Amino acid sequence: MSLISQISKHASNSVLVNFKRAIASQLSQLTGEPETKTFECIELTPKKEFGQFAVIVPKLLASSGGGQRKKRKTTNEKSASLEQPKNPVEYTKELAEKFQPDTFIADTTPLGTYLNFKLQRIELIRQVLDRVTRERTSYGTFPKYGEDKTVLIDFSSPNIAKPFHAGHLKSTILGNFLKKIHEAMGYKTICVNYLGDWGKQYGLLSVGFNKFGSREQLLQNPVYHLYDVYVRICKEASEDNSISEEANRCFKKMEDGDESILALWRQFRELSITEYQPLYKRLNISFDVYSGESETHKDIPKVIDLLRTKGLLQEQEDGSLYVDLEKYNLGSPVIKRHDETSLYITRDIAAAIDRKQKYNFDKMLYVVGVSQQIHFQRLFKILEILNSTENDDSNKKQENWANQLQHIHFGLINGMSTRKGTAVFLKDLLDNQQQQEDLEVLSKIGEAAAEKVADIVGISAVVIEDFSRDRQLDYDFSWERMLDSHGNTGVYLQYAHARLKKADVKLNFSADPKILKDPEAFELAFQIAQYPDVVLKSFDESQPRILTHYLFTLAHTISQAVRVLRVKGMNQDLAESRLLLFWAAKLTMGNGLRLLGLTPLEKM
């Protein structure tokens, strides 16, 4: 059963559910199929000339076996006559003839084995305006769904001592979207920025700083200087194995608590966080917790003991420890190196256990690239085994909390790599977009507001460029495409919102919907009506692309309506009704932009 159907069984914020229920109720009586199943089979039509909803009749009757519908007792002779097996096309025609128009459904027409339904236009407009007027910024939210539930979202997670590059953009904005949409679904959210601040690479950076670093440059431009040092030492390490060996020894000293190395590491960490915070503020993103791999160091011995107690640890000839996951086709990940230093997976096991104890979440999302898919499969499997009650003395069967963990993976932005020194820094990306938009808005709204507006438009362009794709697909980085202000872009969505300005007509929330008889008015109301279901689908699939493409369609529908549905110069009643419809469209567009993590603009 779809998420939309689950929620519609209780209380739904979707106007369209009312219309689908009306179809399902009558069609269920005609076919003898369960109403719940009938509801599930109702879908949007591909073309508006067919109507708004359709049912594929063979799909509806599939469980009855070749069109043979189950007999059921009825006092309605017309319904009883439809119990007999028919040719699917003929049966669809007969259903169309028997289906009676009502308050919700205006007309029913057959097209092959499709049963198409046209809605009562004025009733749809009336319900949409009533719902949006009552719910306002809550329109499209479902606060009861996730009530009393907590989700922990681990996202962004840049590596310290390196500039925040555009490759981190996907995790950062996707994680923020997941936060916003979980809040719309009623969840309490805990957002964690789990910094990459521990591991061999910081041993390598320490070696590099001793060789190439400058205290003066570190204070003047800390992260960019450290990035330059890191690229240079990586190049040397690729040509000289002794440098990697020295980095390993340096990291071992860090784990052993060597204060001379840790003091420098702490400085790198603090300077990095200071550098990142203005960018997060610029993106309108905040975190409840800043943590890092380094904070798990004290818990590593407990993790090793737990793994050993469960009989999971095995030792290699060189003395390193690993977990055998071969029977799950997940290989044998090393948990502890021969020099007794920890690894990424060891620290992630410790962090997950600590988070469960500290926050008792109902689910935890890791927003990390697809390249880490095997890592998370191994992590989840180890945690599942650790938390299994099969070998425990307790007779109580408890849910394994490892099942609450989810890897929300995404594709790569090709064309950048920190080690090769080809990273595109996010600050540069946003600054370039802001400068381009500055020229467009300066003459329209004045210099004082231009910089802020240009920054919001620039961020919108960058975010929507990413969100317009399936999150799981890779794409090539391109300045030209990301900064393009034409077509389906963030600039276009902001313009669609900003153009719906207040007219010289007072907004009347009691305006009469019955006079909105133009086809464009119905099409705009129908688009607005789809928003709650789009939110549900976006949440269910963790896909901002679904909401983004809906907003493109809404923006195009607004554009078509603005050309036809004049407000200025019309009689007062019609002007008020049209203005209320445009207000509802603007509010819906604004709600959607905020869910995507963007600030809707009033002027451009």
Q: CA 302, 308, 312: angle at the middle one, nearest 5?
A: 125
- Looking at residue 325, its pLDDT comes to 97
Identity at 434, one-letter amino acid code = Q
pLDDT above 50: residue 266: yes
Q: pLDDT at position 218, please? A: 92
DSSP string covering 59-121:
HHTGGGSTT-PPP---S-HHHHHTTS---HHHHHHHHHHHPPP-SSEEEEEEETTEEEEEE-H
Q: How do residues 69-118 score in pLDDT, each as one tens digit?
A: 444 444 344 444 455 456 999 999 999 999 999 999 999 999 999 999 99
Is residue 295's pLDDT more than 60? Answer: yes
> Could you give the residue ranges of the DSSP H alpha helices within 446-518?
447-467, 479-482, 490-498
Mean pLDDT taken over the chain: 88
Assign 429 a pLDDT band (cuts: 50, 70, 90).
Answer: low
pLDDT at 484 over 60: yes
Which pLDDT value is given to residue 4? 63
Can you tell me the distance from the alpha carbon of 33 to that of 44, in angstroms, rounded to the nearest whole number? Answer: 20
- The secondary structure element, H or E, covering residue 191 is strand 188-195
pLDDT tens sequence across 199-229: 888 999 999 999 999 999 998 889 889 989 9
115 DSSP β-pair partners: 55, 110
Cα-Cα-Cα-Cα torsion 93, 98, 101, 103, nearest 10 degrees, comes to: -120
Q: Which of 8-17, 127-136, 137-146, 526-535 has the lowest mean pLDDT?
A: 8-17
Region 475-481: mean pLDDT is 73
Spatial neighbors of 161 by CB under 8 A, at least 6 apart, are 202, 205, 223, 226, 227, 230, 268, 269, 271, 272
The whole-number average pLDDT for the span 493-510 is 90
Phi, psi of 419 (to 5 degrees): -65, -30
Helix (H, G, I), strand (E, B) or coil at 415: coil
Q: What is the pLDDT of residues 548-567, one digit of tens each?
A: 999 999 999 999 999 999 99
Percent share of the chain, pLDDT over 90:
70
Residue 56 has pLDDT above 90, yes or no: yes
| Residue 364 confidence (pLDDT) | 98
**More confident: 504 or 330:** 330
Annotated active-site residue 396? The verdict is no
Separation CA 602–CA 604 (nearest Å): 7
Q: Which of 20, 37, 118, 168 is catalytic?
A: 168
Domains and CATH numbers, the chain: 3-119 (3.30.1360.70), 194-287 (no CATH), 293-361+370-408 (no CATH), 426-595 (1.10.730.10)
Catalytic residue among 20, 37, 93, 162: 162
Q: Evaluate if residue 413 carries a pLDDT over 90.
A: no
Residue 183: closest CA among 126, 140, 154: 140
601: left (phi > 0), else alpha (psi -120 to 50), else beta? beta
In percent, the amount of the chain with pLDDT more than 70 equals 85
Buried b (16+ CB within 10 A) or exposed e, 166-201: bbbbbbbbbbbbbbbbbbbbebbbbbbbbbbbbbbb
pLDDT single digits (tens) 334-371: 999 988 888 999 999 999 999 999 999 999 999 999 99
Based on its alpha-carbon atoms, the radius of gyration of the chain, rounded to whole angstroms, reads 29
Q: Is the pLDDT of residue 277 over 80?
A: yes
Q: Give the span between the Cα atoms of 114 and 54, in whole angstroms.
A: 6
Does residue 280 carry a pLDDT above 80? yes
What integer pLDDT is reported at residue 81 of this predicted model?
42
* pLDDT for residue 82: 54
**162 given a catalytic annotation:** yes
Residue 442 has pLDDT above 60, yes or no: no
Comparing 137-146, 186-195, 289-298, 576-585, which segment has the lowest mean pLDDT?
289-298
Task: Give the pLDDT of residue 339.
Answer: 87
Judge whether residue 448 has pLDDT over 70: no
The two three-digit tokens of residue 64, written as one number: 């009855």
Distances from the Cα of 392 to the Cα of 190, 301, 578, angstroms: 31, 22, 67
Encode pLDDT of 372-399 as tens digits.
999 999 999 999 999 986 445 555 567 8
Concerning whether 356 is annotated as a catalytic residue, the answer is no
Q: What is the pLDDT of residue 436?
A: 59
Residue 54, strand partner residues: 43, 116
Confidence of residue 500 (pLDDT cuts 50, 70, 90): very high
User: CA distances (Å), 429 to each of 194, 254, 273, 420, 424, in order?
Assistant: 23, 35, 19, 19, 7
| Of 418 and 164, more confident | 164
pLDDT at 50 over 90: yes
- With bands split at pLDDT 50, 70 and 90, how would you rate the model's confidence at 238? very high
Question: Dihedrals φ, ψ of 425, to 5°?
Answer: -75, 140
Tens digit of pLDDT for each residue in 114-146? Answer: 999 999 999 999 999 999 999 999 999 999 999
